[in-house]
Structures are given as structure tokens and as C-alpha cells.
Amino acid sequence: MCASAPKAPLPPHQGREATLEILSAPVASHVLSSRVLPRGTCGPTDPEVPATRLFLAVPKAPAPEAGWPILYLLDGNAAFDFLTPALLEAAPRLIVAGIGYDTDKQFARAHRIFDYSPPETPGAAPRPDPHHPERLAGGAEAYLARLTGGIRAEVEHDLPVDPERRTLWGHSFGGLFTLFTALTRPGSFARFASISPSVWWDEALVTRLVTQRSIAEGAPRPLHFGMGDKEKRTGSAGPQPEGPPPPTLQMIERLQAAPAGLEIAAQVYPGAVHIASLPASLPGALALASRS
């Protein structure tokens, strides 16, 4: 475990609405925009499910010959809600793409849980959520195919992107999806940032993913973890935790014991509850994605 980050403040928006102030703020380094992506190429096909909304920050400077690196942020509504001009201006040569939902909320709760949760076995059909059987889970394979297919094509169309410097970031269930992607399709991104991954959701499944993981060709791919030391599941009883989530630490230790194909790093955000680990992770994620 690497050195701890400075104490993370609680996020400015603990409610449900996404204010997205960054879209109207003056940013010296980037041009920002937002649009809904077409269902025909990006899905979902179910008209009852919100369409995909893209939040995009593109550098104003001329692109390098190989193209810009790009950071994909899951839960784009929330991620861009916590972005600031100073964060973007500290990464002036990085495209930042928030992949969210066409909603005015920070999180599309039921839809993200379905999209970001792994199937029980490769190719398995969706199943009832083991914690909330009234809703379905297990859509991560299909969502990953959309993300690296139609969604990526729409995001990167007419943008000078370096395909060797794509980074995927996710928080909570998005962190679980990022971990799933790194372990099953490590060649789909060059770098991964899994923040407070929802390992608790199915610890046995996560253990199988770690044990049976795929290994990409070439140099080890960075897989960075971040978590608070005050994290507690929403609605769970008991005192405030003292220290990072044990299931996450145990999973990281298993990965570090057999590091082939992955470059593991982990960081703890002192005093951070679960939601606070999201904004606390952004400076590190932007730096990771900007690396040469």
C-alpha cells in the first residue's frame, strides 16, 4: 500500500441532483461539451432505459503526433459534477470523457448496477441481484462491449486519440466494473483506476475473477486502487469503520501475490467515507491517465 493521500474533504454535492457546474465554468485548458449518444450505435436498445450521455473535455492545445491520451470516467454525471477547472488545468494534454446516463441525477442507480455488475460466469444471462432480488444484475459483459464498441467510436470520432494511452476509471460499482475489465479484457485499456470497488457485492465472484484473470500481451498494465478509511455500505448498521474495507485489501493482496500482467498500486484517502473517495481519486486518476 503506497503512502496515504491528504485528508479528503466531503464532496460538495451529497444530494442526488447533478449540478454540472464545470460545463459552464471558465476552463483555460479545455473545451467542454455534453450530448446524448445515439441508441442505434451506443445503446441501450430498451427505450425505458436512459440513453448514454457523454460529457467531454478536449484540450485546446494542438494535439501531439500520436494523439492525446484519454481518460474514460464511468458514472459520468457524478464524475463531471466533481471535476473542477483546476483539476482539468492540471492535465492540459488529456481528453476526459465522462460516460453517464441521460438523467439529471448524479447516479442512475438501478441502471448502473446492472451495467457495471459482472455475470456469474462468462456468457451467463443476467440474474437477480443477490442483495436486491427485485432488480437484475450481471450486465457488465454487454456493457463492456458497448463501451469499447459504439460508445468509444462516438467519443473518439474526429478526435486525435492515442489508442495506446486509454485509461478507464470507475468508483463503487464503477470500480467493480473497472476491476472486471482489467481482469477479463486487459487489452481493452492501457491503464485502470478502480476506486472503492464494490467487492462486497459478490466476494466469491471477485475471487474467481482474480484467480482466472486474463493476461494482456506486452508490459504490465497499471491497475490502481483507491479507497477511504471510513467507508461503510449505505444502510448498513454498526459503528463507523476504522481502516479501509478488509475485502478490498484481501483482494489487492491476492493480486499482488501473482502480479503477472498487472502493475498494482493502492492508495488510502484518510477520513474519506465511500462517496468522498470519488473526488479524492480524481487528481491521481488524471495524473495516471496523463503519463507518457
Q: What residue ranges do the domains of the chain occupy?
A: 21-290
Question: With 60 as the cut, is the pLDDT of residue 9 above it?
Answer: no
Active site residue 48: no
| Length of the chain as a residue count | 292
CA distance 264 to 261: 10
21-290: in CATH 3.40.50.970? no
Q: How far is CA 97 from the centre of its chain?
A: 11
Catalytic residue among 171, 196, 198, 231: 231
Active site residue 154: no
Residue 193, CA distances (Å) to 71, 101, 141, 147, 159 in order: 10, 20, 18, 16, 23
Q: Are 162 and 69 in contact (CB under 8 A)?
A: yes
Q: What is the mean predicted confidence (pLDDT) over 27-49?
A: 95
pLDDT tens digits, 218-252: 999 999 999 999 987 655 556 667 789 999 999 99
Q: What is the mean predicted confidence (pLDDT) over 276-292?
A: 96
**Closest listed residue to residue 161, CA positions, set 80, 224, 91, 93:** 93
Q: Are 97 and 56 in contact (CB under 8 A)?
A: yes
Catalytic residue among 171, 274, 277, 281: 274
Q: What is the mean pLDDT of the chain?
A: 91
150: confidence class by pLDDT, cuts 50, 70, 90: very high
Lowest mean pLDDT among 210-214, 234-238, 283-287: 234-238
Catalytic residue among 29, 117, 172, 198: 172
| Grid-cell match 475471487, residue found | 207
Active site residue 172: yes
* Residue 125 burial by Cβ neighbours in a 10 Å radius (0-12, 13-18, 19+): exposed
Q: Are 83 and 55 in contact (CB under 8 A)?
A: no
pLDDT tens digits, 270-282: 999 999 999 999 9
Q: How far is CA 170 from the centre of its chain?
A: 1
pTM of the predicted structure, to 2 decimals: 0.93
